Structure formats: C-alpha cells, structure tokens
A and B are shown apart, each in its own frame.
Chain A
C-alpha cells in the first residue's frame, strides 16, 4: 500500500492503496464516486471512462499510480444535476439514455473528442465512439444529443 494524492473533480484526495490498483476501484470504492462504472474491466466498453489531462481514459485498465498529479474529471465532475454541462444538458433534452450505465463512456468520450475537433462531422463523431458501447442501444438519441451540443458550441 502507498499513500497517493489524487486530484479529482477539482479536489485533492489522499488514498492509501496498492499502486497497481486500477484507477476505477479507487474512484468508485475509496472515493465512492458514482460516475465511472465497472463494465468489463478490459477497456472494451467505456463504462469506466474518466477524463485525465484532457484525454478520455479507461480507468479500469489504468493503474492509479500512472495518473500522477494529473487532473481527473468524472461524469459528476463535468456538471451537476442542478447545473449540468451543456453536453449533459443536450442528453437530458434528447432523453438520450435508457439504463444510463454507459453514460461515462458516451459523454466523456464525446466531450474530449469535440474539445479537439469542434467541427467534427457525424461520421467523425461515430468513428470517435467506435469503441463505446450502449447495450440499450439509445444510439439514435445519443448521437442526436452530441450533434446538438456540437452545433451549439460552434454556433
């Protein structure tokens, strides 16, 4: 075990963990955050996604020790129920989810991609989401919500 300091959603946290522990378990068990979720543990589905240093990162296959002093943003760090981020707002407006378990992967992957590619085409957005799963298949609404957000921020 070792003492590590993590910067999560604008706050510093000290945790005493095995440095090999995947970041996901530290976030969801030690810090009891609800955004990142265990989907597959293999980096294949996206449910555990967090933003580290501006990059969508699969926290289930990222050792906590690899994060260092980088700022971590989870789905709850993006916006709150009372003040959702504009991308989250678009998902609410489009009612773009069913069970909602996949949303960290969908929202945060789209967010980081659009930050780098604000004028992305639909095809580029789909390509960016090619490794993200939603097993309820709310695809149509989700892509619509992402488009709505993308159009809004470049308007």
Chain B
C-alpha cells in the first residue's frame, strides 16, 4: 500500500493546489495517497463533502474514474490494522466492476474524502457496505456507466453488463466499451442513486473472498509508512511535559533550565500544557527530562483498592433504559432471588507504538498528519485549540499502531499542532510510553449489581440490572478538545457532567448500543420490545459518575464490561437451578440469529450437556472446564457466541485457556480471512484483558505506566486453539466484526473456571492471586 506520488503527479497536484477536480482532468492514475508528499499551501477547489460526519450525497465525492480505467475511491472510514482498507477496495472493485488491481483508495483526508465522522464501534461495515455511502456510490457508478454505454453502443440497458472495467452486450460480448472511454477524467455529476441495485452476495466474485491484505507485504518488510515515519522538510521534534500527578497545574516554568542543552529550539507553555521543541528527537527527550516546572498539586486520588465502593458514593447521572414497573414486586414474590456483583477495572488501549503526529502550522493554515480515527472532528477541534478556521486545516490520516479505540492519537495531534504553532515550523511529536499510558482515555470502570427472581419452575421471571460506572471526557467529537488531556491542559473543558437522580422513565424504544441490557430480557418500552429475550419483568438502571481519569471508547466499550456481568450472572443462575448453561440461555432467548450462533458454537465445541460445575471435581492440582457466553453486539450489530475451555492450576491459581470456539453471524462476509483475523485477535486480546490488564494508581498518580506495571500477554505463551465458525448470511445487512469476539471472552473464561473449580470469579482481571484467594475462600 502507501502509494507514493510520482514526480509528475506531485507537480500536477502542487499546481492544482491538491484539488480533486484537477486530478480528474489528468490521468486517474495520478490519484494516489499523499503520505508525506509535502505541505499544502492552498486549499482551493475542495469538492463538496458534506462536512457533517454523514458522508456525501454526491457520487463524485466517492468515486472517480480515470481515462486509463483506474477507479479511485474516497472513503471516510480508515484502516488502523483491522483490514478495512483491503475490504473497501474489494467493495469498490465488486460494485463498480473492475479487478482489484485497478482500484485505488484514499482514506480520511479532510481535503479530499467525504466526512464520515469517526471510524469506530465496528460501524464501518454497517455504514459503508450496505445500501449507502461507498457501497451505494459503487452501485450508482455502475448503473451510470451502463447508461452511458447504452447511449454509446445504441443498446438497451437490459442487454448490458458492466464487469472487468468494460460495459458489454450480453447478447454479443465482443461489443463493449471501456469505463475510461465512457467517463475517464470527467465528473459523473450525479447524486447517489437509491435505486441503484447493489450486487447480491451470491453474485460476488471479489467481495466475499479471502483477498490478502494489500498492505501486508510492505508491513512485513518494513516499508509501510506509519505516521511515525512521516518526515517533512524543515521538521523539528517536540516532546510534551505532562503533569507529574493527576490534577497538578503549572506554577512556573524555568526555561533557563534547558537553555544550554544542544538543539533546543523552544519551550512552549499554554495554560497547563508544557512542551519542548528541539532539532532532534533525542535532544527533545533530554530537554523534556531536564525542564524545571513547578507544579501545584491537585487533590489526592481515592485509593485504587477503594475503586468500586467509591463509584457508588459519587453524585451520579442516572439513566433507565427499561423499566417494566413491576420489578420490586416480582422480586418480592419470586420463589428464589439470586444476586451478584461484578467489578471491571479501568483498562487501557496500550498501543504498541506510543502515539505520534506531525503538524505544520503556518500562519492561518495548518496540515496535521494524524493517526486519529476522527479526521474531520480532529480538524475542527484542532482549529479551536489553534484559533484557526476549520476549513484552513487539513488533517491527513496516516496509520499508527493499532489503537483499539481512542488511544493517544488525538491528543498527540493536538500536541504537535500546538508545538508547531509556537515554533513556526513543522513539528513531530512522539509520546513517551509513560505519557501514553498515564494520560490516555481509559476504558471505563464498572461495578454492576445483577438480581434475578426465579419462578417455581426455575425459569427467570424478573431481571434487575443496576450499574455504576465512571467517565470523563471521551472522543472530542467536532467541538470538545478538552475531552482528551492536551485540550484540557491547554484550557478547554471536557464535556460537562450533570448529575441526575432519579432517572426519568424510559420513553424511547430500547437502544442496546452499549449492551447495558442483558440479551435475555424482552426490552419492552411502550409498544416496542427490542430485547433479544423473553423476560418481561425487567429493569436496567445505570449510574454514571465522574472519573478522575480521562476515559473513552476502548474496543467494545461498555459492551464488554456489561456482557461480562450479564453472561457470568446468567451462568450463576443456570448453575443454581442445575441447568445446562447452553440450554438455559436458549430457553430465555427469542433472537433467532443469536440462538443460531450459540448452537453453532456449542456444536463446534462438542459441548457436553450438563450443569456446571463439573461433577466429581478434584480439589487440588489441574482441573479443566468449559464455559459459554454470547452477545447481540450493540443490540443489532453482529451476533456471536463463544465456548472457552480452560485448565486451572489450583496450586498456583494460573488459568490456562486451551481452546476458544467462536461462532459469529455478521451478515454477508466481505473477507472471510480478514474476519477470522479479527476474531482471533479479539479473542486473544480479550484473554489478555480478562487475565491480567488493570490500570492502577497511588494517591496522586497513575502507576501502570509501562509493560512491567501494566500486564499484557506477550507473544510468548501457548495460545489457545481458536476454532471459528463463520455463519455467512447473505440476505441480511452487513454488520461489523471488529469488536464481537472480544466482548464475550471474559465471561466465557470465568464460566469455564467455575465449571472446572466451582469458584466464581466476579472481578476482572482473573489474576492468579485472585483465583487462589477465591479457591481458599471456597474451602474455608
């Protein structure tokens, strides 16, 4: 990948001020990604984009065809390692009807691609692969090409077929015309056509096939350009100096403390934002170490050990998603009431690469090379921080290390922009490992109470969910740069927090976007019933409190924490009534696709039907067990079930996950190997989060600041066998698949540990110390 500009192309684009229209006048082959080709000095003739996160209604914003038949597509959904770049190329090739080799794809460049907001929440498939946006653009282009060919060839549309870059007569395939001849170098001047038919998955020849990643070869041989590799002429290197403690503010900065260091160009202070700029990275690092800043302490942090109690003591914003109104009465009259509390810590994205960005702010214009998932929102929020007009800023997406949500990519883009503005030259900033880990937007901590009332037959008659979670800031969106640390330090506020008690009664149909509601409830609000289950006495109540730390979406945000509590609790109830965990789930579900996924996973795992825990367990040594879990991801964006098999060493408390079986239905599959790669990675990342990952702090500061203090699984362990069943559904909408498998891992493992040992783990991560403590407690 990383197509580079040829010298001719560079000249042409420079003369044209990088305008789309000018590309089209020339050869389509000129249209390639900019990477670090240079600093843009004009922003003329930007094509109409629809700057509102929703893409563009104009076909020409999405697709251009050169005289040589090269199809250049523009997308606002970016690849950060999940394989979306290749999948979107397949989509364009399929819909427009050209071989993959003739597709070029430009992703997330605010001067030339449609504004599709943020790439997140496994929404790229729902957004771009169904009947809108990039998919509809492809279908519209194909329909337009056929109409143009009809006029040119004098043949009826019904006798024409578009494929392999040609429109040919069905009745006489030797009569054809090439796309380049029909439209090459010209605009379509069409709106996206809702009547343009997409190809049915049964007709696919490119989509639906395991096309290898187009970037793999460059990645594996060290040629791929990451944002960390962007170099522009005259570039300096910056380093930020973050507060040493949470809540600390700048008292004074002694610039003379670094004046004698070689290469130091500038010390930058803006509010509580402090940074240094130097000629070389090593010089900037040394200057940042040496710079004397007097910090004023903020208030002390509540102890880490007190996290979950503290969550319940704060003023909260309460939300009722579902409330059938009879929950307390039904719990009062139930034959049996079961109750359990689940705790999930703050966890971090912990990208392999500390975040990096290059910015060039010159006068009232700026270019920012950024690995942000939100190119357009970053443009607007950077404009606020810099005091510039958004339309004068260009954000060019260049891939960073895998982010898994909002890592440091947004904040470091602001860092680079602020330092460049102060220095008057392009500045590259790469965060230190500690600055990345101590100040990123963590995944939220949760404490969740579950209660279920059983009827006389042992079925669940009433489900009551009540959760406390902590949040602060988040994605900056288009107008809140203070949602991440740099914006905050430079003077912007995070999104306001407004406590609210009690919660208003629910009055809109259940949107289970955060999987706050368990799958097993009916989800009735007024006349709607959007749940996936049958339990009609139901309450889902959330308390959101203010976190001392920045938080934000971390792969399967909130859905993972909630699903941990739902799926472990379902297992507890099944065990209590001595029911098989698979059967018991199916009994409480109404959602056919989720039920099919559970059955498929159980079948592939050769699931032994019986209640948990396993009978006749040994009390010492190594024991084995199996557990199941499932979710309708985001309520309606992918259906997944997992069976985990574990071995638990009861002497050491160590959990070894030996096998993970995943069955997944995400609609029509764009690229089966890409989907498998995502499922495998999600499953193992979920394992790492379930077994070891937890953000820690002392009374003043974050203490998980490197790979010794934040425990992630390395490459060097025996990975479980990962067996995957892909349930390819061709007559439904495409769902995402980047966050499905990770969501169900912790409960599947926890349930398997229970099956093996009879101990119930209700707090993530399942460290050996916690397993041992639970084992000891159970024998006392």
Contacts and interface: CB of A to CB of B under 8 A. Distances in A.
Interface of A: 1, 17-18, 20-22, 25, 28-29, 32-42, 44-45, 47, 74-81, 84, 88, 91-92, 95, 97-104, 106-107, 122-123, 126-143
B220 A97 contact: yes
B228 A76 contact: no
A77 B221 CA distance: 8
Interface of B: 80-83, 212-213, 215-226, 228-229, 231, 237, 262, 280-283, 350-354, 356, 399-402, 404, 430, 432-433, 673, 677-678, 680-685, 687-688, 706-708, 712-719, 722
B220 A103 contact: yes
A25 B281 CA distance: 7
A80 B224 CA distance: 11
B221 A41 contact: no
Given A135-B712, A136-B81, A139-B719, A103 B219 contact: yes
Contacts of B713: 137
Given A95-B216, A97-B219, A132-B715, A141 B680 contact: yes
A92 B216 contact: yes
A99 B81 contact: yes
21 contacts: A32-B229, A38-B228, A38-B356, A38-B430, A44-B708, A45-B352, A88-B220, A98-B82, A98-B402, A98-B677, A100-B219, A102-B352, A103-B219, A130-B714, A135-B402, A136-B352, A137-B713, A138-B680, A141-B677, A143-B715, A143-B719
B126 to A, nearest CB: 21
Contact of A29 (B280, B351, B433): B280
Given A99-B399, A128-B716, A138-B681, A41 B220 contact: no
A37 B215 contact: no
A91 B450 CA distance: 45
A29 B353 contact: no
Contacts of A133: 352, 707, 712, 714-715
B222 A34 contact: yes
A75 B222 contact: yes
Given A100-B220, A101-B402, A133-B712, A123 B718 contact: yes
Contacts, number: 203
Given A84-B220, A107-B220, A137 B225 contact: no
B222 A76 contact: yes
Contact of B222 (A33, A134, A137): A33
Contact of A99 (B80, B220, B683, B717): B80
Contact of B223 (A76, A91, A131, A136): A76
A131 B716 contact: yes
Contact of B282 (A25, A45, A80): A25
B680 A79 contact: no
B677 A100 contact: no
Contacts of B216: 91-92, 95, 97, 100
B222 A132 contact: no
Given A92-B217, A98-B81, A135 B231 contact: no
Contacts of B353: 37-39, 47, 101
A13 to B, nearest CB: 16
A18 B219 CA distance: 30
Contacts of A80: 221, 223
B680 A41 contact: no
Contacts of A33: 222
A39 B221 contact: no
B707 A40 contact: yes
A135 B213 CA distance: 19
A48 B221 CA distance: 14
Given A76-B223, A81-B221, A136-B681, A39 B715 contact: no
A135 B715 contact: no
Contacts of A91: 216, 220
Contacts of A74: 222
A150 B716 CA distance: 16
B354 A132 contact: no
Contact of A41 (B231, B432, B717): B432
A133 B213 CA distance: 21
A25 B280 contact: yes
Contacts of A135: 350-352, 401-402, 404, 685, 712
Nearest to A20: B282
Given A81-B221, A91-B216, A130-B715, 12 more contacts: A29-B237, A34-B222, A40-B707, A44-B707, A45-B352, A98-B678, A131-B714, A135-B350, A135-B401, A135-B404, A137-B681, A143-B719
B673 A126 contact: no
Given A35-B222, A81-B217, A100-B215, A42 B715 contact: no
A45 B707 contact: yes
Contacts of B683: 137
A39 B632 CA distance: 35
Most chain A beta-carbon contacts within 10 A, residue among B215, B219, B399, B400: B219
The 4 A-B residue pairs whose C-beta atoms are closest, nearest first, are A99-B81, A35-B222, A130-B716, A75-B222
B749 to A, nearest CB: 15
Nearest to B283: A18
A80 B677 CA distance: 24
A135 B221 CA distance: 19
A81 B772 CA distance: 49
